[in-house]
Chain A
Amino acid sequence: MMFGLAALAIVVAAIMVLYRGIKGPRVYDRLLAINSMGTKTVILIALIGYMYERPHFLDIALVYALINFIGTIAFLKYRETGRLD
């Protein structure tokens, strides 16, 4: 029950940040929203893993954190130099 409430709070926070991602005037606001959403998803996966007693969800959360970071940096590199190689 405790994890359910925490997960609900994080989903509400994610919806707020998603609104900033949609409305954000610049592309960097949107990237900030995506990065923040990624971190919230990591926490959400960990909480859901605990709600259903599945500890191996934490590997998914760790991989998601890795990919979220790499995605942000890749977009910045593409935006700055126009190339990804």
Chain B
Amino acid sequence: MDIGTIICGVLLFIGCFFILVASVGVLRFPDFFTRIHPAGKTDTLGQACVLIGLIFYEGFDFISLKLLIIVVFLLVVNPTATYALANAAFISGVKPWKKGDKRQ
């Protein structure tokens, strides 16, 4: 049980915690625009914690370089996709939810 495995275990736990909590958020939030917030959380924080945990488990060689590429790519791409989604939804007439409206 060297230090890399311990760090990986802790980061995996944190990452999976965020992913599970965000999935509950995607289920329970009342409106489309509110659901984007937790979905974005899994895309950025959840995957970053899990994959960086794998980098610590792997040590520093070419395989963890590939992991780093995946993490950086997802950190750039997923907010872009979420923004495009929200923009397209807003343009096509999805009205944001106000307190007291019916759950959508």
Contact = CB atoms under 8 A, between A and B. Distances in A.
B51 A46 contact: yes
Interface residues of B, number: 45
Q: Is the interface of B mostly helix, strand, loop or mixed?
A: helix
B19 A33 contact: no
A58 B63 contact: yes
A2 B1 CA distance: 12
A58 B70 CA distance: 8
Given A2-B8, A26-B94, A43 B36 contact: no
A-B interface, 8 closest residue pairs, ranked by CB to CB distance from nearest: A13-B23, A9-B16, A16-B23, A28-B89, A58-B66, A55-B63, A76-B88, A69-B77
28 contacts: A2-B8, A10-B19, A13-B42, A16-B27, A17-B23, A17-B27, A20-B27, A26-B89, A26-B94, A35-B78, A35-B85, A36-B43, A40-B19, A42-B74, A43-B50, A46-B50, A46-B70, A47-B50, A50-B57, A58-B63, A58-B66, A59-B66, A61-B70, A65-B70, A69-B80, A73-B81, A76-B84, A76-B88
